Amino acid sequence: MYSARANVGAAPSSGRVDAKHQRAARTVLAFAAVMKIQILMSPGCGHGLRTSELVADVVRTHSLQAEVETILVGTFEDATRLAFPGSPTVRVDGIDIEPQAPTKVGLG
């Protein structure tokens, strides 16, 4: 498992924001105190970078006090330990931002 803090000062990529990322933004905004945001992803996840950029953009745009951590989930054992339903997964203070998040554990 790999963990690193995101660079919240990095400029976001241009592109359309889909419904999942809009829900993520609303979830992040719902918390007023210092929060812990985890971005969990499989190595090579095609949406991981964009998800990290969107989280950083929300934190920066709304001047949120947040600790952002990126966690690469590389083994089934890591996925099981982290209750990882798929890539990417964003959790705010341990709660998945996806309202209908799968409960099945996997690396996909």
- Quick: pLDDT tens for 33-75: 789 999 999 999 999 999 999 999 999 999 888 999 999 999 9
Question: Encoding tokens for residue 107?
Answer: 């690396």
pLDDT at 99: 78
pLDDT at 14: 47
The residues, ordered by sequence, that sit 6+ positions from 8 with a Cβ below 8 Å of its Cβ are 56, 59, 60, 66, 68
Residue 19 pLDDT > 80? no
Q: Which CATH class is domain 2-96?
A: alpha beta
Count of positions (residues) in the chain: 108
pTM recorded for the entire structure: 0.67
Banded pLDDT at 105 (limits 50, 70, 90): low
**Over the chain, what is the mean pLDDT?**
79
Helix axes 19-29, 48-61, angle to 10 degrees: 40
User: Which DSSP letter does residue 25 get?
Assistant: H
The tally of CA atoms less than 13 A away on the side-chain side of residue 21 is: 17
